[in-house]
Amino acid sequence: MDPSFLWRGGCGFLMFYQMGVMKALQELAPEILRSASKIYGTSSGALIATLVTCGCEIDAVIACMTETVKNMEGTILRYLYPNNRVILNIQKALEKCLPDNAHQLASGRLHIFLTQVSGLQNVVVSEFSSKEEIIQAVTCSFFVPVYNGYIPPSFQGVRYTDGAFSSPEAAFYTKTMITVSGFALDNDICPRDKPGTFFSVYMLQQVFQISLENFHRLVCCIFSPSRLVMHEFFLKGYHDAGFYLERNREFGIDYLARNTTLPLASESHKKCLSQTSGGSWNQNPSTRILTSTDAAFKDLTRQHGAMSRAENETEEKTQQLPLY
């Protein structure tokens, strides 16, 4: 039976984690994306689901969003008033990346979750008559009232907000569905925090892990982090996707392309980071953190070294974790 994908939302700037997952799957296991019969996305996940469905390269979107955060760095406004800048740049990126026949590629395969303003009902849209309609649907699924503005956008004449505000019924989830999230949840591909250091709470059809790591991700989700942190999220998503594929291979489910070597990150991926950051990037094997020749990043590297060391400890524990 063909798999399906659910790219969860509520991630905000954690979309860089999901971008890393997408990049890894495109490079390491492209067949798993091509064979997916249905691809679901909600909130920030709607953007990734759209790019996957239409077979787009993610590099242009990474560059666009990195530039967005770069322009917000060093100003108090990045903490107080992110507003529509992110959505406007996502619209521009989609307009640039999506092919003219995107609606034909997406109809029937791409499913975007929306929350109808009237009654807060969960709505899934899967039929599109133009590329512009896809962009409108993604915009609606991204929109958080007050944070992104006060007037919700509309799709086919109806106003909608962030798809994460409502959730599908439990029967929606299937055994062949592969779920992806930037938070440590009960998903197939997600960060793995230390066992025994968190509590769990069930809400919105998900098991949320209450931990310091998830709290840090929540802060980065709402407030724009530095470019260095975003690149760390990207690398983490790439790594976790590779780990998921490797664990599945151990259980006899081999999605990996031939001659694939793990672990990662690929040269094309590091080249992308170099182009978007303005520095010469490399991954230090001893610390697994990114370093840059750009002086602007040196202080940030030291600042986030503790977080990277914590991630190293987390990675050591992942081998002991069950595969969901």
| pLDDT, tens digit (0-9, with 9 covering 90-100), for 157-173 | 999 998 777 766 655 67
The strand pairing partners of 6, in sequence order, are 40, 179
Could you tell me if 78 and 220 are in contact, meaning their C-beta atoms sit under 8 angstroms apart?
no
129 is catalytic: no
Question: Is the peptide bond prior to 263 cis by the omega test (within 30 degrees of 0)?
Answer: yes
Could you tell me if 306 and 289 are in contact, meaning their C-beta atoms sit under 8 angstroms apart?
no
Amino acid letter, residue 35: S
What lies within 8 Å, CB to CB, of 87 at 6+ separation is: 139, 142, 143, 148
C-alpha 136/C-alpha 273 separation (Å) is 29
C-alpha 25/C-alpha 257 separation (Å) is 10
**Chain segment 234-280, per-residue pLDDT in tens:** 999 999 999 999 888 876 777 777 666 665 444 444 444 444 444 33
Does residue 48 register a pLDDT over 60?
yes
43 is catalytic: yes
Question: How many CB atoms sit inside 10 A of residue 36's CB?
Answer: 21
| pLDDT value of position 196 | 58
Among residues 162, 188, 193, 240, which one is catalytic?
A: 162
3-state secondary structure of 112: strand
Cα atoms in the 13 Å half-sphere on the side-chain side of 215: 7
Taking each helix axis from N to C end, the angle separating 267-277 and 227-250, rounded to the nearest 10 degrees, works out to: 170
Model confidence band, residue 199 (pLDDT cutoffs 50, 70, 90): confident
The strand pairing partners of 290, in sequence order, are 283
| pLDDT value of position 260 | 62
Which structure tokens are listed for 265? 């990150």
Among residues 43, 44, 292, 308, which one is catalytic?
A: 43
Does residue 202 register a pLDDT over 90?
no
Q: Which of 324, 253, 258 is nearest to 1 (CA)?
A: 253
Q: Which of 216, 207, 170 is nearest to 311 (CA)?
A: 216
